């Protein structure tokens, strides 16, 4: 495969992918039932942001990256068993 057929990722895209992989790695250290739930939440959150966030909205993406890094640091803590999230559209904690 030549380099012309491979799209280069921007620095920000690389940060997003690294954060996603970080969450999946951290999930592996949790109990199996929690791991599955964490993977579902993380996947849904990243997919939703990929659809809804404008790729040129750099400040907002940087904010999401900082927030994600803080959440990842919390998840890496041995005291943290799983994740919860707030669905703003329905105002229910899941």
The candidate with the shortest Cα–Cα distance to 39, out of 19, 53, 52, 25, is 25
The residue written with tokens 């890094």 in the block is 69
Q: Could you tell me if 65 and 72 are in contact, meaning their C-beta atoms sit under 8 angstroms apart? A: no
Question: Is-above-0.85 flag for pTM?
Answer: no
Task: Name the nearest CA neighbour of 69 among 17, 12, 18, 19.
Answer: 19
Residue ranges per domain, the chain? 11-93
Tens-place pLDDT, residues 3-43: 544 678 889 999 999 999 999 999 999 999 899 999 999 99
Nearest to 45, CA basis, from 60, 64, 26, 29: 64
- pLDDT of the residue at 15: 96
Distance CA 20, CA 48 (A): 13
What average pLDDT does range 63-88 have in this prediction? 83
**Within the chain, where are the H helices?**
11-27, 32-52, 58-76
């Amino acid at each position: 495969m030549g380099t012309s057929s491979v799209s280069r990722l921007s620095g920000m895209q690389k940060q997003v992918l690294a954060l996603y992989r970080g969450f999946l790695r951290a999930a592996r250290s949790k109990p199996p039932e929690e791991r599955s739930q964490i993977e579902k939440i993380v996947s849904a959150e990243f997919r939703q942001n990929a659809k809804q966030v404008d790729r040129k909205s750099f400040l907002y993406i940087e904010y999401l990256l900082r927030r994600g890094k803080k959440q990842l640091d919390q998840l890496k803590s041995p005291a943290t068993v799983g994740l919860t999230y707030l669905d703003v559209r329905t105002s229910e904690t899941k």
